[in-house]
């Protein structure tokens, strides 16, 4: 049984660039976006007084919202793009027949490829973005890694709404509404479920525990969204 | 011996909304047509047979194997062509067949098997093109080609000839006749003409249950006694429409009509029973009786 599952997974990966990402177009597009992000991060780094600014409990709009909001939005839009054709012509029914397990692993893999690339790209670029604050040190690592839950969360939300409604436009609508409301309320509307924990400086403005709990909840919510999206209701 | 499919006491509901209520029937190799008005439960039944949905009760046995209890669902034994078969437009036909071949874990030589399928369904000119460029006819042919890869014992085909022109429909019918020789082929359709030409067995779904299960000849012979014919004028026709269910009207001259209707308790003067009726007449009778 287990061998059979892995064989099916091998089939998925062997055919990935012939069925799900023809000639690697989505991969190239993702890498191009991440390259742009990297170039931007190199050219326009965060100010060197960044740590002083956050300890002064300042809002970090214009500094942290690039990685708090813009990069996760790009990842979520890539997710919508990758799954758009599944629901345009009911292709998902055909795919569901050939992947009969109750948990749709090919869907997870397709989502994970995008998210993984964005996480790596975001982590590396953020390292350069905060190079004036800390470069390749523990602080630099923490400054870069704190944005990753947002990428996972927003793209999982997009996937979940698309899969549940079987409609890519519904996914775009719900995700963008959440995104805009969270961005313009400076994290006050969704509080613990806000993506803007860094921009709104939850760590110093509220408390370190609140900040960490927010990051944890965002990750847990992403896991729930992914489970809801990939569990095939029969 | 051949293959045998039996659906035993199958029910399915969406919450309190019953879609299929205690359905039972059996079929063997050959074409079985599944008829029914919109909302009768045809697509739900197809979804149950393909493992896309699970019934609230009952079992589906294919050659003695319970399809619902087999994990994972045996895609190597079942071929499926959905009504809207639209794979990603930029995938080539060959790549799709190759993917399906691998997913079904078929043991034969891959290239030989795909080449044979391509030749059988005359897909040669387009097989390396993107599916988005295919005509409706080629798309259906590719759809049936992917379904029959690995010679499944059960084929489930939803609206096989919908949207095809008459010539393509005729060709598709011949493909279906050929593949159904050694496979149970269950077809859901609205096109009665097709059913008459190729089906050994007809199942009519009505009000979430089976209203008829038998052959074309049996369906017609069961309906004949209840269908009356009358030649009449327009005013009588208008009056009759309020009393009986008129199922066919043919204008003979300016004010002369030949009509067929379903008989009820009151007989209509001058009406008579014909020796032959169409399958469409019989179908409408079963939907209205």
Q: Are strands B78-81 and B154-158 parallel, antiparallel or unpaired?
A: parallel
Is the pLDDT confidence value at A225 over 70? yes
Q: What is the pLDDT of residues B192-208, one digit of tens each?
A: 888 888 899 999 999 89
Is the pLDDT confidence value at A2 over 60? no
Q: What is the pLDDT of residues A66-92, one digit of tens each?
A: 999 999 999 999 999 999 999 887 888
CATH topology of domain B4-88+148-214: Rossmann fold (3.40.50)
Is the pLDDT confidence value at B78 over 80? yes
Q: Are B267 and B243 in contact (CB under 8 A)?
A: no
Q: Are B22 and B32 in contact (CB under 8 A)?
A: no
What is the value of ipTM here, to two decimals?
0.88
Q: Does A6 touch chain B (CB under 8 A)?
A: no
Judge whether A140 lies within some domain: yes
What are phi and psi for residue A125, nearest 5 degrees? -65, -40
Start-to-end CA span in chain A (Å): 21
Give the residue from A214, A46, A65, A76 showing the smallest Cα distance to A156.
A76
Q: Does A42 touch chain B (CB under 8 A)?
A: no
Write down the pLDDT at residue A1.
46
Mean pLDDT of A115-123: 97
Judge whether A166 lies within some domain: yes
Judge whether A86 lies within some domain: yes
Q: What is the pLDDT of residues B224-281, one digit of tens each?
A: 998 889 888 888 888 888 888 888 888 888 889 888 888 877 777 777 888 888 899 9
Who among B90, B92, B103 is closest to A8 (CB)? Answer: B103
Q: What is the pLDDT of residues B8-65, one digit of tens each?
A: 999 999 888 899 999 999 999 999 999 998 888 898 999 999 998 899 999 999 999 9
Write down the pLDDT at residue A90.
80
Judge whether A6 lies within some domain: no
Q: Which pLDDT band, with edges at 50, 70 and 90, does A145 fall under?
A: very high
Q: What is the pLDDT of residues B89-129, one digit of tens each?
A: 899 999 999 999 999 999 999 999 999 999 999 999 999 99
Is the pLDDT confidence value at A233 over 70? no
DSSP character string of A70-123: IHHHHHHHHHHHHHHHHHHSSHHHHHHHHS-SSB-HHHHHHHHHHHHHHHHHHH
Give the residue from A168, A173, A169, A213 showing the smallest Cα distance to A194.
A213
Write down the pLDDT at residue B255.
85
Q: What is the pLDDT of residues A148-186, one digit of tens each?
A: 999 999 999 999 999 999 999 999 999 999 999 999 998
- The H-or-E segment that residue A195 falls in is none
Domain ranges of chain B: 4-88+148-214, 226-288
Judge whether A43 lies within some domain: yes
| A99: chain B residues, CB-CB within 8 Å | 103
Cα distances (Å, whole numbers) of residue A107 to A29, A165, B249 = 19, 15, 53
- Print the domain residue range for A117: 16-230
Most confident of A22-31, B170-179, B229-238: A22-31
Write down the pLDDT at residue A136.
77
* Total structural domains within chain A: 1
Q: What is the pLDDT of residues A36-58, one digit of tens each?
A: 999 999 999 999 889 898 888 88
Which residue numbers of B have CB closer than 8 Å to A's CBs?
A: 50-54, 71-73, 75, 80, 82, 84-92, 95-96, 98-100, 102-103, 105
Write down the pLDDT at residue A22.
93
Judge whether A1 lies within some domain: no
Q: Does A18 touch chain B (CB under 8 A)?
A: yes
Identify any residues that bridge with B126 across adjacent strands, giving them in sequence order. none
What are phi and psi for residue B258, nearest 5 degrees? -110, 120
């Amino acid at each position: 049984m287990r061998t059979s599952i892995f064989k099916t997974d091998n089939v998925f990966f062997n055919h990935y660039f012939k069925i799900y990402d023809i000639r690697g177009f989505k991969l190239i597009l993702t890498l191009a976006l991440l390259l742009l992000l990297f170039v931007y991060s190199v050219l326009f780094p965060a100010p060197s007084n960044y740590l002083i600014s956050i300890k002064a409990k300042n809002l970090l709009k214009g500094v942290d919202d690039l990685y708090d909001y813009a990069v996760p939005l790009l990842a979520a839009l890539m997710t919508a793009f990758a799954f758009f054709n599944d629901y345009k012509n009911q292709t998902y029914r055909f795919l569901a027949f050939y992947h009969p397990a109750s948990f749709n692993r090919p869907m997870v893999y397709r989502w994970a490829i995008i998210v993984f690339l964005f996480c790596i790209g975001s982590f590396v670029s953020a390292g350069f973005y905060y190079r004036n604050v800390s470069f390749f040190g523990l602080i630099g690592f923490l400054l870069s890694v704190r944005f990753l839950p947002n990428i996972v969360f927003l793209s999982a939300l997009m996937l979940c709404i698309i899969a549940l409604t079987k409609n890519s436009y519904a996914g775009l609508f719900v995700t963008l509404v959440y995104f805009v409301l969270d961005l313009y309320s400076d994290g006050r509307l969704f509080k613990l479920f806000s993506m803007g924990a860094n921009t709104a400086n939850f760590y110093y403005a509220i408390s370190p525990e609140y900040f960490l709990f927010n990051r944890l909840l965002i990750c847990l919510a992403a896991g729930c969204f992914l489970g809801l999206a990939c569990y095939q209701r029969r | 011996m051949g293959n045998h499919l039996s659906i035993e006491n199958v029910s399915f509901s969406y919450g309190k909304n019953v879609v299929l209520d205690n359905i039972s029937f059996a079929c063997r190799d050959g074409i079985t047509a599944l008829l029914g008005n919109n909302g009768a439960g045809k697509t739900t039944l197809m979804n149950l047979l393909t493992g896309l949905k699970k019934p609230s009760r009952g079992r589906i046995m294919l050659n003695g194997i319970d399809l619902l209890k087999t994990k994972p669902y045996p895609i190597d034994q079942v071929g499926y062509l959905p009504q809207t078969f639209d794979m990603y437009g930029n995938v080539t036909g060959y790549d799709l067949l190759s993917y399906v071949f691998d997913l079904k874990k078929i043991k034969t030589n891959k290239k030989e098997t795909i080449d044979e399928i391509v030749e059988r369904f005359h897909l040669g000119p387009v097989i390396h093109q993107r599916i988005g460029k295919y005509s409706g006819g080629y798309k259906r042919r590719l759809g049936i080609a992917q379904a029959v890869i690995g010679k499944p014992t059960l084929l489930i085909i939803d609206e096989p000839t919908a949207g095809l022109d008459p010539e393509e429909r005729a060709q598709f019918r011949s493909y279906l006749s050929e593949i159904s020789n050694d496979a149970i082929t269950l077809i859901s359709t609205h096109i009665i003409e097709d059913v008459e030409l190729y089906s050994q067995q007809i199942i009519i779904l009505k009000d979430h249950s089976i209203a008829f299960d038998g052959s074309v000849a049996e369906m017609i012979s069961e309906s004949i006694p209840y269908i009356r014919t009358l030649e009449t004028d327009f005013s009588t026709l208008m009056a009759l429409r309020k009393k009986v269910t008129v199922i066919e009207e043919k204008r003979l001259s300016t004010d002369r009509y030949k009509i067929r209707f379903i008989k009820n308790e009151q007989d209509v003067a001058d009406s008579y029973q014909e020796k032959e009726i169409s399958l469409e007449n019989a179908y409408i009778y079963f939907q209205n009786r």
